[in-house]
Amino acid sequence: MRPPLPGPAQLNHVLEQAYSSWTFNAFALDEASRGRPLSVLSYFLLHRLGLIKTLGLKPIKVARFLQALESSYMDNPYHCRIHAADVLQTFHVIITRGGFTHAYVDPIRHLACIIAAAAHDVEHEGEPRPPTVWGRAKPQLRVARGLHAACSQAPMPCGGATRRVDE
């Protein structure tokens, strides 16, 4: 007999823990979100922090953007969507519980930081660093500088400024 699928109560519990606690289990979020830990956590944080409303973002476009971003993560043992969700949650707790949001981070910068944390390993092939031959990285294995940022540079889903996430 298969165990029951996680329900909304389990997902809510994990998200609340992610929002306010240093104690967080990214694997539990992966299970509770049915394999979508990064997009679910990202959207939850943006909503709970009031950034969607404050910045006038369109919720459906934000959700599509985050799902596309999450889908850009490769399935490898470490640099994957679960790891990205873990990094995002750690960043969130440091920035909010450390008091940075009130003193240093306005809403647009907070959004940028959340996207940066979520996108930090997009399309990472899984190698901890590129293998080298005679001191030079093999071109097919090189992770280009700025790739992660470039992959997350689809227009932000605000107002009419976006086109790629409209479908």
pLDDT tens digits along 66-88? 998 888 777 776 768 888 899 89
Residue 56 pLDDT > 90, yes or no? yes
CATH code of the domain covering residue 50: 1.10.1300.10
Residue 38 lies in a domain: yes
Cβ neighbours of residue 33 under 8 Å, at least 6 residues apart? 11, 14, 40, 41
In a domain, 37, yes or no: yes
- The count of domains in the chain is 1
Express each pLDDT in 116-156 by its tens digit. 888 876 766 656 655 554 455 544 444 443 444 444 454 44
Is residue 167 situated within a structural domain? no
* Tokens representing residue 91 in the block: 């960043």
What is the model's pTM? 0.74
Structural domain boundaries, residue 85: 8-151
Is 14 a domain residue? yes
- Residues with a catalytic annotation lie at 79
